[in-house]
Amino acid sequence: MQSPYELVLGWRYTRAGRATRRNGFISFISGVSMLGIALGVAALIIVLSVMNGFQKEVRDRMLSVLSHIEVFDPSGQAIAHLEEDMSIIRRHPEVIGVAPFVGAQALIARGEDMKGAIVRGVDPALEPQVTELAQHGDLLPLNNLVPGEFGIVIGGELSRSLGVYVGDRVTLIAPTGQVTPAGVVPRIRQMTVVGTFDSGHYEYDSTLVMLHVQDAARIFRVEGPTGIRIQTNDVHAARRIAMEVAGSLPPGMVVRDWTRQNRTWFAAVQLEKRMMFIILTLIVAVAAFNLVSTLVMTVTDKRADIAILRTLGASPQSIMGIFMVQGAAVGIIGTGVGLLLGLGVAFNIDTIVPAIENALGASFLPKDIYLISRMPSDPQQGDILPVTILSLILSFVATIYPSWRASRVNPAEALRYE
């Protein structure tokens, strides 16, 4: 516990006391140290919040077209006991939706333009149970898919790149085809575009196409659905639920949750977040250790004051406490300002970034590169609290040596030339 005079003197030294040129310089570098800590803390909070927001935004848009869990036969053939397996899955207490599907890859052609596509054959009646986007008919018009009419719903980006609209016809080229003396001839089918969708996730909007599950089975020559899509009541529990579902199904079935479908991407984001935390922490560390030079200069400037305090009975511990109060004040104020600045920017980044983009006439997030086109932010207590604590700890550690040095000042030596 610091005594009142230690707190008063420590705070006075923080403000540099007398208005001399030397003290003014010390006040200036104290302010620079404080500003450096504030900017470092703010940068950490803003960057981590943006990375959290980016991950959450991409995950939510991804899950608007993906199910939480997929079950399929690794051979790519139709599931032999589809209804029985779907009944077993429905009995799980945390499963809220089940729907069959046919999954394959194909080419979509329009004139001379040809694009690779992920084909998903769906049941329009059951798909809203497992796909969030399908719950909004205006966003994903699956009701336009009628078996036998070979209609197709394609992503908005794919539609624009091919130059097709609702009512136009495209050619679906399936890799599985007939074996002839000339080799394997791919199956080609004319399809009518009956709808488009925009999930906000560029990868799926530019590659995913949907058709009726019966039409997909006929085109790809399978006896029925090749997989089952599952929706759970907790997206974060999908991995555990997938393991429990796998244990109740016949052996040989592959059960894969949404995190495994995009494992590489999520692992890369987590690695980038950890690296950015380490890099930006070094900025805070540099700013915090600027306190060392600030306090050393303050100790040199205040040698006479220290000597007088010592002759009046102040203990070395009290002298050390005075300068620790000064360093702690700089660290606490800098951290507090950085915290307020970082949270202010993080919570208003959706307004700040568009304003900067309009002023500069540039786009910071081209959606064909970054999957999304706006800057998201998601400040989380789990990131903000460690940043704040780390900044305070570094600031306190930086005060130890200069404060100890102040406590070792010899009064006789200090007053010799005063």
Distance between CA atoms of residues 403 and 326, nearest Å: 9
Round the CA-based radius of gyration of the chain to a whole number and report it. 32
- Taking the C-alpha atoms of residue 415 and residue 418, their distance in angstroms, rounded to an integer, is 5
- Cα(71)–Cα(260) distance, integer angstroms: 13
Q: Cα(15)–Cα(13) distance, rounded to whole angstroms?
A: 5
Note the pLDDT of residue 20: 44
Instruction: Report the DSSP beta bridge partners of residue 121.
Output: 102, 211
C-beta separation of 70 from 229 below 8 A: yes
CA distances from 26 to 16, 32, 67, 300 (A): 6, 10, 61, 11
In the prediction, which pLDDT does 183 show? Answer: 58
Please calculate the CA angle 142-143-146 and round it to the nearest 5 degrees. 100
Token pair recorded at residue 140: 């994903």
**pLDDT of res. 7:** 59
Q: Dihedral sign, CA of 331, 333, 337, 339?
A: positive
CA gap 212, 112 in Å, rounded? 26
Residue (of 161, 411, 158) closest to 308 by Cα position: 411
Q: Report pLDDT for 18.
A: 46
3-state secondary structure of 185: strand
Q: Contact 186/177 with Cβ under 8 angstroms? A: yes
Beta bridge partners of 184: 179
Q: Give the pLDDT confidence score for residue 211 in this predicted structure.
A: 92
Query: pTM value?
Result: 0.69
Phi, psi angle pair for 187, to nearest 5°: -80, 135
DSSP H/E element including 352 = helix 349-360
pLDDT tens for the chain, residues 1 to 418: 455 655 555 556 565 544 444 455 556 777 777 888 888 889 888 888 888 888 888 788 788 888 888 888 887 788 888 888 889 899 889 999 899 999 888 889 888 888 888 899 998 888 888 888 887 766 778 888 888 888 999 988 899 888 898 889 999 888 776 655 555 667 888 999 998 888 877 788 888 999 999 998 888 888 888 889 999 888 888 888 988 888 888 887 888 888 887 777 777 777 878 888 888 788 778 777 777 777 777 766 666 766 776 676 667 777 777 777 777 788 888 889 999 999 998 888 888 887 887 787 776 666 655 556 677 888 888 888 988 888 888 888 888 877 777 776 666 565 555 5
Give the three-class secondary structure for 53: helix
